[in-house]
Amino acid sequence: MSTLKNDRYLRALLRQPVDVTPVWMMRQAGRYLPEYKITRAKAGNFMSLCRNTDLSSEVTLQPLRRYPLDAAILFSDILTIPDAMGLGLWFEYGEGPRFLHPIKSRRDVEKLPIPDPEQDLGYVMNTVRAIRGHLRGSVPLIGFSGSPWTLATYMVEGSSSKVFSKIKQLLYTEPETLHLLLDKLADSVVLYLNGQISAGAQSVMLFDTWGGVLTGADYREFSLYYMHKIVDGLLREHDSRRVPVTLFTKGGGQWLESIAATGCDALGLDWSTDIADARRRVGQKVALQGNMDPSVLYGSPKRIEREVMSILDGFGPGAGHIFNLGHGMHQNVPPAHAGHFVEAVHRLSKPYHY
């Protein structure tokens, strides 16, 4: 088993005692850092950055040089699997992802291949291996994927959406076709995440960014069912160590009990869910990750500390809390504010751990 100098993130995921509450930030590598912008410019475009092992490793490590974070997260994109399926991913500047060949029919779904992680997504596996080498056991590395439902929304809509009209039309008129797509995606995500684990990821996370746009019944049928399938298919031990899995549904606070029943190790919470209420509802079944509103980082150091204290108080004493933002870091947050946030979590959380 490889030795970790700082394993408090992994220990907290497994609800084991820690000295302080571990902290990392969703999108901790990104556009709020000037050094990221320089590296991105070298790459030329976003997908070139993701596909370049040296540059994607570099941006993964950049926030760890600035802040005493308790985990690194692979720098990549949730849409790598649809891209490897042949949909032609590209990014319109300032407008997000686009697909050249979105899903328009059942025949399109039937033709989709299941990508091989080493053959079709080898650049991601190479980056995982490179990052592990650079980290030298300093902190754990998190791997990730988008959830099947979230991937499907982009594949059917062809881009980002605010109303999700195309995929919801598919859901209500051709549910069998959507299930076929989601099943292929679930199989692909299992292979992809297991590939990341074999390459060196020590924990994995599923980002269900758009699960919250569904009704309760549709969420269970079209999103949670497939995340459960993925949890069942994941490698849960590697290198003689448990590999924890975290599920995060943005807007999913009303379904915490159902998500916890999948067998995952931790639930990600967005800022719309009260962490004290979440802990009461799930008890000791899973750890909780979250859940400060990223916009708090615009505030003064005192305002940031007040919010950190509020969330620490809400969770209360004991193990099983990974402090994080309730969603991704905003691009115009001052880097110094992020640093104060990380320092405040470590300093203020000490009394909650015995």
Annotated catalytic residue 31: yes
- 8 annotated to a ligand binding site: no
Mind listing the pLDDT tens digit for each residue in 272-322? 999 999 999 998 999 999 999 999 999 999 999 999 999 999 999 999 999
Which of these is catalytic: 27, 51, 132, 279? 27
- 93 annotated to a ligand binding site: no
pTM over 0.95: yes
Which of these is catalytic: 7, 70, 77, 270? 77
- 209 annotated to a ligand binding site: yes
DSSP code at position 262: T
Which of these is catalytic: 154, 192, 219, 226? 154
Tokens 């399938």, residue?
Answer: 229
E-only strand ranges, the chain: 72-73, 89-92, 96-99, 141-146, 203-208, 237-238, 241-242, 245-249, 266-268, 287-289, 321-322
pLDDT of residue 303: 98
Annotated catalytic residue 27: yes
Whether the CB-CB separation of 97 and 165 falls below 8 Å is answered with: no
- 339 annotated to a ligand binding site: no
The strands making up 203-208's β-sheet, listed across from edge to edge, are: 72-73, 141-146, 203-208, 245-249, 266-268, 287-289, 321-322
- 169 annotated to a ligand binding site: no
Residue 95 pLDDT grade (very low, low, confident, very high; cuts 50, 70, 90): low
Q: Name every residue whose Cβ is closer than 8 Å to that of residue 44 and which is 6 or more positions away in sequence.
A: none
Tell me the three state secondary structure of residue 128. helix
Which of these is catalytic: 8, 15, 40, 132? 40
Whether the CB-CB separation of 297 and 338 falls below 8 Å is answered with: yes
Average pLDDT over residues 65-72: 98
Domains recognised in the chain with CATH numbers: 8-352 (3.20.20.210)
pLDDT of residue 1: 63
Annotated catalytic residue 8: no
Is 160 or 212 the better-scoring residue by pLDDT? Answer: 212
Mind listing the pLDDT tens digit for each residue in 109-147? 999 999 999 999 999 999 999 999 999 999 999 999 999
Average pLDDT over residues 17-21: 98
> What span, in angstroms and rounded, lies between the C-alpha atoms of 314 and 353?
14
- 29 annotated to a ligand binding site: yes
